[in-house]
Structure 1
Amino acid sequence: MTDAEKLLWSKLRNKQILGLQFYRQKPLLNFIVDFYCSSVNLVIECDGSQHYTNEGLEADRVRDEALAQLGLRVLRFDNGQVLREIDGVVQVVYQFIQQESPLY
């Protein structure tokens, strides 16, 4: 895992967000997603610089579309954002879950 993934995992593991179980490095279709919560159909990705090239952006678009066809929603965060603003990233995840999954 990258430093950003390690930091975000430290906030997601052990059901720290709304009591939800997250998994890391979860295979879905022919992809391996960084973090996955089946209870709310959520994928979280930590993106390094390779994701911001034309090829990376297109690959992510195709991947996100395939995951969306499974009913999954994808949140993406830049590695630098995770490392500098972890509390804000966690807040975005928390708010997203509450807005998109009223049971939580």
Structure 2
Amino acid sequence: MKEILTAINGISVHRNFVENLPYNPKLKPLLNEKRKAGILSEVIFWKQVRAKTFHNIDFDRQRIIGNYIVDFYVKTLGLVIEIDGWSHETKEIDDEVRQKYLESLGLKIFRITDFDVRNNLSVVMKDLENFIIEHYKY
């Protein structure tokens, strides 16, 4: 029986903790640089989800998984949130390889655009709720 993590709009969401994720310690210095860079869309999104303010779900910012640093990670769901900015426009193949790798670990990926976070935040948050319900409803 799966443990209930939270409820979104009256729908129970189950815990989906993915154990033993690979970790490359050589990325740690880069992790600190990325956090200090303060990319606007990441800061805006972080303010919406930090300290369990989004349905009491705990989000990590800038998490190392394997040889990648993901923008946000929800341990209790095995969920990666990626915010794609202008630099991703020329990296479709890299993004696809990265996504396939993360999915091979049993993770789900929710992708949003930098533009939408900055201009349609309420829609982004509703889409995230719907994604979580779709993939983790009890």
Stretches (4+) displaced over 4 A? none
1:18 Cα deviation after fit? 2.0
1:95 Cα deviation after fit? 1.1
The 2-side partners of 1:102 and 1:63 are apart by 26
**Cα RMSD over matched residues?**
0.9
The 1-side partners of 2:133 and 2:56 are apart by 12
- 1:83 corresponds in structure 2 to 118
The 1-side partners of 2:66 and 2:128 are apart by 23
Aligned partner of 2:64 among 13, 22, 27: 27
Aligned partner of 2:97 among 39, 62, 70: 62
1:17 Cα deviation after fit? 2.0
Please identify the structure whose Cα radius of gyration is greater: 2
CA offsets per residue over residues 13-68 of structure 1, 9 Å max, x none?
Answer: 11122211000000001100000001111100111111011xx1110000000000
Total equivalences in the alignment: 101
SS of corresponding position for 1:81: helix
SS of corresponding position for 1:40: coil
- In structure 2, runs of 5+ residues without a counterpart are 1-37
Q: Percent identity?
A: 33
Greater fraction of residues in helix: 1
The 2-side partners of 1:70 and 1:18 are apart by 25
